[in-house]
Amino acid sequence: MVSVNDVYQTVLALANKEQRGYITPQEFNLFANQAQNEIFDQYFYDLNHFRRIPGNNTIVADSRDIIEEKINYHRFISEPSAPTIDGSIGIQVNGGVSRLESVSISWEEPHGNGLGDIDGTLGYVNAEEVLNIAEFELYERSPLTRSTRRRPRYLKYVEGPTTWVRVWPTPGPATLIRYTSIQKPTAPNWTYVIVNNKALFNSSANDLRDFDLHFSEEKNLVNKILQLAGVAIKNPDLVQMTGQKEALNIQQTKI
């Protein structure tokens, strides 16, 4: 994680230099969440970019491996869960699910036959995603493509804050489902108390939340928050300064 207080103090120091303006705690928390989400979303565009160019054998210097490490910070592998009667499970962790990477199913029956009528072995079978019910029904029309225990399928859909996964064929009483997902980062929150009309950091507050990003993102967070602050306080110099730093960083990482 990245300390929310370290980032805020750095942002204040840079913003106040040459009287560029003061950023209130409320403004900072809004800018901080926006900056964190932008950095997180950029991971997937960067990963797609680096997949198209040759890498190297040095893990510490390979751009794709660096991005994968940052994404891995948000990777969540669930414990096995029993689905509802219609074969669904609800997923709601931290800020929610950004990417559902895989869904696997154990068809173990109470009498211990594993995959039962398939091959009698224990273990999980990876399910194939369908985009919608229409696609699922198209597969089900033919015995050759119909969902089976060896070739299960799942549909992902969202209702409110919960991402749901429904699997086919319909699970039995002992069926278990597990999944791997990329979780959205939890919104940061710089907590404070007012002393002599001044906001002071409150490190013991229950709702204190550091940035939910890889520790290497501190510099990027500072730059992005300053850029957002520059727009808010109508300071073109601050926007230009941070924009130049961000462009230089992008150039260095994508060469």
Percent of the chain with pLDDT strictly greater than 90: 45
- Quote the DSSP letter at residue 97: E
Phi, psi of 200 (to 5 degrees): -115, 140
As a residue count, the chain comes to 255
Phi, psi of 8 (to 5 degrees): -65, -45
Q: Which two tokens stand for residue 238?
A: 């601050």
Average pLDDT value for the chain: 82
156 and 101 belong to one structural domain:
yes
Q: What is the largest CA-CA distance in the chain?
A: 75
Q: From 161, 183, 205, give the residue that closes a domain.
A: 183
195 and 178 belong to one structural domain:
no
Query: For the chain, where are the E strands, in sequence order?
Result: 75-77, 88-91, 97-106, 125-126, 128-130, 153-159, 162-168, 176-183, 192-195, 198-201
pLDDT of residue 112 exceeding 50, the answer is no
Q: From 126, 160, 183, give the residue that closes a domain.
A: 183
Would you say 41 and 248 are in contact if contact means Cβ atoms under 8 Å apart?
A: no
pLDDT digits (tens, 9 = 90+) for 170-195: 888 888 999 998 988 999 999 999 99
Q: What is the pLDDT of residue 111?
A: 46
92 and 176 belong to one structural domain:
yes
pLDDT of residue 79 exceeding 90, the answer is no
**Residue 96: left if φ>0, alpha if ψ -120 to 50, beta else—which one?**
left
Q: What is the pLDDT of residue 3?
A: 97
50 and 83 belong to one structural domain:
no
92 and 218 belong to one structural domain:
no
98 and 39 belong to one structural domain:
no
pLDDT digits (tens, 9 = 90+) for 190-225: 999 999 988 999 999 999 999 999 999 999 999 999
With a CB cutoff of 8 Å and minimum separation 6, the contacts of 72 are none
Q: From 153, 183, 213, give the residue that closes a domain.
A: 183
Highest mean pLDDT among 27-36, 48-57, 60-69: 27-36
Residue-wise DSSP of 119-185: ----S-EEPEEESSHHHHHHHHTSTTTS--SSS-EEEEEEETTEEEEEEESPP-TT-EEEEEEEEPP
93 and 54 belong to one structural domain:
no
Q: Which domain holds residue 81?
A: 76-183
Q: Which two tokens stand for residue 42?
A: 């950029």
What is the spatial distance between Cα 226 and Cα 228, in angstroms, rounded to a whole number?
5
68 and 191 belong to one structural domain:
yes
85 and 40 belong to one structural domain:
no
Which one is predicted more confidently, 86 or 70? 70
240 and 199 belong to one structural domain:
yes
Q: What is the mean pLDDT of residues 135-145?
A: 92
116 and 28 belong to one structural domain:
no
**How many domains does the chain divide into?**
2
Task: Give 3-state DSSP helix, strand, coil % of the chain, rounded to 5.
Answer: 40, 20, 40
Residue type, 98: S
Would you say 249 and 227 are in contact if contact means Cβ atoms under 8 Å apart?
A: no
Cα–Cα distances (Å) from 37 to 23, 98, 186, 190, 221, in that order, read 20, 11, 9, 16, 10
Q: What is the mean pLDDT of residues 135-144?
A: 92
105 and 153 belong to one structural domain:
yes
